[in-house]
């Protein structure tokens, strides 16, 4: 038992799954048994589908257990700690023998997530022990100049991981080229799409790597102040960021002569945002930091010339900054060795939806979408048919199954009509209605429109109204041409990238799944059997036993029939709630 350590994953995803109670139970049993065991914490390791996660380090090796709620803790303590017999039933990962979950990790290349799940994010010493702040120490020791750093970042080929994929080094070069006594560097940690789950996880699991990346960026462009713009809905991320900031100041990584670099006076503070989707756009974010309503403005001037408080400003997202220390420490070539010709390095995806293994994955650019979903994600839940994947967040696009061999890089994904965005990958199966999906995402972007541009404010609303008509069975053939026309008007006439990409879910679903739209309009049928108003429930008399369960559960008494005799559904009274379908134990209710 000597030198045994138990580590519990306490990221937001783990806490939501009950990891807090797991930690408390372990703490109690260690105290009651007076066990010679150290108890520690870490954050998300990416395997969200197996939370709560508990890792045990002992003399025989390292064991990662999944699905360990508080009820299973006594068994783990009894068998693994006291009897020194690992509980194979719950094992997710160990170096001693293969496990079914190994394929989730084997093809990943972790640069952004290199420390997540490996360190206690509230202990700067653990970050330092894993190579933390070695990049800034290298800059100080080798007296690297701003030009040296920008050259390395340019040669690495890293592109902004927050959306458009603009070359990071070029962005820094622009900001460095403008002379001003005041410059700012901003970390955008407020993106309101599935990729924001990634941002939050990095901030919770490895906050110091983001700070170190910002310090390097600040030095490269000549900034004196950094801002982390983080949505207030991420309380754990903000808590750990504040702890990290105080620790970095105490150790001299921030403040006067930061990192031991003479005359480099640099500090970072947090600005809590209200979670507006539009504040993922640079100029809207700047307006919010300044205390104004988050709305985009015309460009030029670009933020590199006139940004926060009208001073030269550089903005990158969490994932971009998290990769910078690794690049400086390991060299541009090491990063550029991963990926494709125009998309270098790795990309983190929040894998979600109808996939067996949901969570965070980091893969080298150039891996196919199919490999991400089936090798890392384990395939489709319940072994249903893979239909499409939505990439790029709410303003991304849907890629059909026959394009699943598209490689993950900026140009290839954009060619499909989707976008890389900040890393959302939502998997859909045969039970997904693509018209309903388009309506869902457009409803979000419509509500999140800042309202400044008429085409975005009104155009998305008109498109949403058309989609609602179609899913209600009231669509007409001309609606499809009108959707395309409105979408093009919005793309051509809105100020910011968010407005310009808002029609993408509609355009891609029309491009690849037009037959579903036509079925809704011409046949008044939803092929996926999702759109409520297009469904019809009937009783299969050969299967009906007359148990009356359906009739007793019908909220509007639309089902007639005597006990032990076949029942019928009066279609004029049916509200299509589906209760009869879900309650019938004999599969006698059919849906069409």
Distances (CA, A) of 493 to 288, 458, 476, 523, 567: 23, 12, 26, 35, 56
| Number of C-beta neighbours around residue 60 at 10 A | 13
pLDDT tens digit sequence for 207-228: 999 999 999 999 999 999 999 9
Q: What pLDDT was estimated at residue 119?
A: 96
Residue 457 has pLDDT above 60, yes or no: yes
For residues 158 and 168, the answer to whether their CB atoms sit within 8 Å is: yes
Q: What pLDDT was estimated at residue 192?
A: 54
Q: What pLDDT was estimated at residue 231?
A: 87
Residue 140 has pLDDT above 90, yes or no: yes
Query: Does domain 4-102 bear CATH number 3.40.30.10?
Result: yes
Query: Does domain 535-591 bear CATH number 3.30.70.20?
Result: yes
Q: What pLDDT was estimated at residue 394?
A: 85
For residues 345 and 111, the answer to whether their CB atoms sit within 8 Å is: yes
Please name the CATH architecture into which domain 346-429 falls. Answer: Roll (3.10)
The torsion angles phi and psi of 364, rounded to 5 degrees, stand at -70, 140
Q: Encode 483-493: b = buried (16+ Cβ within 10 Å), e = exposed.
A: bbebbebbbee
Distances (CA, A) of 13 to 325, 348, 424: 26, 17, 16
Name the DSSP letter for residue 86.
Answer: -
CATH number at 124-335:
3.40.50.11540
Q: Encode 254-272: b = buried (16+ Cβ within 10 Å), e = exposed.
A: beeebbebeebebbbebbb
Q: Encode 288-300: b = buried (16+ Cβ within 10 Å), e = exposed.
A: bbeeeebbbeeee
Residue 194 has pLDDT above 50, yes or no: no
Query: What six digits make up the tokens of 52?
Result: 């709560």
For residues 589 and 580, the answer to whether their CB atoms sit within 8 Å is: yes
Q: What pLDDT was estimated at residue 592?
A: 84
Q: What pLDDT was estimated at residue 345?
A: 96
Query: What six digits make up the tokens of 45?
Result: 């390791």
Residue 279 has pLDDT above 90, yes or no: no
pLDDT tens digit sequence for 349-407: 999 999 999 999 999 999 999 999 999 999 999 999 999 999 988 888 999 999 999 99
pLDDT tens digit sequence for 82-104: 999 999 999 999 988 898 899 99
How sure is the predictor about 196, in pLDDT bands with cuts at 50, 70 and 90?
low
pLDDT tens digit sequence for 494-523: 988 888 999 999 999 999 999 999 999 999
pLDDT tens digit sequence for 60-89: 899 999 999 999 999 999 999 999 999 999
User: Among residues of the chain, what percentage have pLDDT more than 70?
Assistant: 98
HSE-CB for 571 with a 13 A CA cutoff: 9
pLDDT tens digit sequence for 264-278: 999 999 999 887 888
Using alpha carbons, select from 491, 577, 564 the residue that is nearest to residue 536: 577
pLDDT tens digit sequence for 531-566: 989 999 999 998 999 899 999 999 999 999 889 889
How sure is the predictor about 348, in pLDDT bands with cuts at 50, 70 and 90?
very high
How sure is the predictor about 1, in pLDDT bands with cuts at 50, 70 and 90?
low
**For the chain, what are the domain ranges?**
4-102, 124-335, 346-429, 434-522, 535-591
Which residue has 């959306």 as its token pair? 163
Q: What pLDDT was estimated at residue 2?
A: 63
Please name the CATH architecture into which domain 434-522 falls. Answer: Up-down Bundle (1.20)
For residues 424 and 161, the answer to whether their CB atoms sit within 8 Å is: no
Are the folds of 124-335 and 346-429 the same?
no
For residues 188 and 320, the answer to whether their CB atoms sit within 8 Å is: no
Q: What is the distance between the alpha carbons of residues 495 and 6, in angstroms, rounded to a whole number?
A: 51
Q: What pLDDT was estimated at residue 277?
A: 84
For 32-57, what is the mean pLDDT? Answer: 94
How sure is the predictor about 193, in pLDDT bands with cuts at 50, 70 and 90?
low
Q: What is the distance between the alpha carbons of residues 116 and 207, in angstroms, rounded to a whole number?
A: 9
User: Among residues of the chain, what percentage have pLDDT more than 90?
Assistant: 83
Strand order through the sheet with 313-317: 267-273, 225-231, 184-189, 313-317
Q: Across all residues in the chain, what is the average pLDDT?
A: 93
Candidate from 1-10, 107-116, 150-159, 234-243 with smallest mean pLDDT? 1-10
For the chain, how many helices (H) and strands (E)?
Answer: 24, 18
């Amino acid at each position: 038992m000597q030198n045994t350590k138990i580590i519990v994953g306490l990221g937001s995803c783990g806490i939501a799954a009950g990891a807090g109670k797991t930690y408390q139970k372990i703490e109690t049993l260690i105290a009651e048994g007076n066990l010679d065991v150290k108890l520690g914490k870490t954050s998300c390791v990416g395997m969200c589908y197996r939370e709560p996660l508990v890792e045990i380090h002992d003399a025989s090796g390292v064991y990662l257990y999944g699905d360990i709620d508080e009820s299973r803790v006594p068994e783990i303590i009894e068998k693994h700690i006291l009897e020194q017999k690992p509980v194979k039933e719950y094992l997710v990962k160990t170096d001693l023998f293969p496990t079914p979950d190994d394929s989730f990790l084997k093809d990943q290349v972790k640069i952004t997530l290199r420390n997540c799940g490996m360190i206690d994010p509230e202990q700067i010493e653990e970050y330092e022990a894993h190579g933390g702040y070695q990049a800034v120490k290298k800059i100080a020791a080798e007296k690297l100049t701003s030009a040296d750093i920008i050259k390395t970042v340019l040669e690495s080929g890293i592109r902004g991981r927050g959306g458009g994929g603009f070359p990071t080094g070029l962005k820094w070069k622009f900001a460095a080229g403008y002379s001003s006594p005041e410059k700012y560097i901003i970390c955008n940690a407020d993106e309101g799409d599935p990729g924001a789950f990634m941002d939050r996880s990095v901030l919770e699991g490895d906050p110091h790597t983001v700070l170190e990346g910002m310090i390097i960026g600040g030095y490269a462009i000549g900034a004196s102040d950094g801002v982390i713009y983080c949505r207030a809905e991420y309380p754990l991320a903000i808590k750990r960021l504040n702890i990290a900031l105080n620790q970095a100041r105490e150790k001299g990584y921030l403040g006067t002569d930061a990192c031991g670099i003479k005359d480099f006076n640099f500090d970072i503070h947090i600005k809590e945002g209200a979670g507006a989707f539009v504040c993922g756009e640079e100029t809207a974010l700047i307006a919010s930091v300044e205390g104004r309503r988050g709305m985009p403005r015309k460009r030029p001037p670009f933020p590199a010339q006139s940004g926060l408080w009208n001073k030269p400003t550089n903005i990158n997202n969490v994932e971009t900054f998290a990769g910078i220390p690794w690049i400086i420490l390991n060299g541009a070539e090491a990063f550029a060795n991963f990926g494709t010709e125009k998309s270098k390095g790795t990309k983190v995806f929040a894998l979600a939806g109808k996939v067996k293994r949901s969570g965070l994955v980091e893969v080298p650019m150039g891996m196919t979408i199919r490999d991400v979903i089936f090798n890392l994600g384990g395939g489709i839940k319940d072994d249903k048919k893979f239909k499409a994947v939505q990439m790029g967040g709410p303003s991304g696009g849907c890629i059909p199954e026959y394009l699943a061999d598209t490689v993950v890089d900026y140009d290839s994904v954009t060619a499909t009509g989707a976008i890389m965005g900040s890393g959302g990958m939502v998997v859909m199966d045969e039970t997904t209605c693509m018209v309903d999906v388009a309506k869902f995402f457009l409803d979000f972007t419509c509500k999140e429109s800042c309202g400044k541009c008429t085409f975005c404010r009104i155009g998305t609303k008109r498109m949403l109204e058309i989609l609602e008509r179609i899913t209600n069975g009231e669509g007409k053939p001309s609606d499809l041409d009108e959707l395309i026309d409105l979408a093009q008007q919005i793309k051509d006439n809105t100020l910011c990238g968010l407005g310009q990409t808002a029609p993408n879910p509609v355009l891609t679903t029309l491009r690849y799944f037009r037959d579903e739209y036509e079925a809704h309009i011409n046949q008044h049928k939803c092929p996926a059997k999702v759109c409520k108003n297009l469904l019809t429930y009937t009783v299969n008399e050969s299967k009906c036993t007359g148990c009356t369960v359906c009739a007793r559960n019908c909220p509007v008494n639309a089902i007639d029939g005597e006990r032990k005799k076949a029942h019928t559904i009066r279609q004029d009274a049916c509200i299509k709630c589906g209760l009869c379908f879900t309650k019938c134990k004999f599969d006698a209710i059919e849906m069409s």
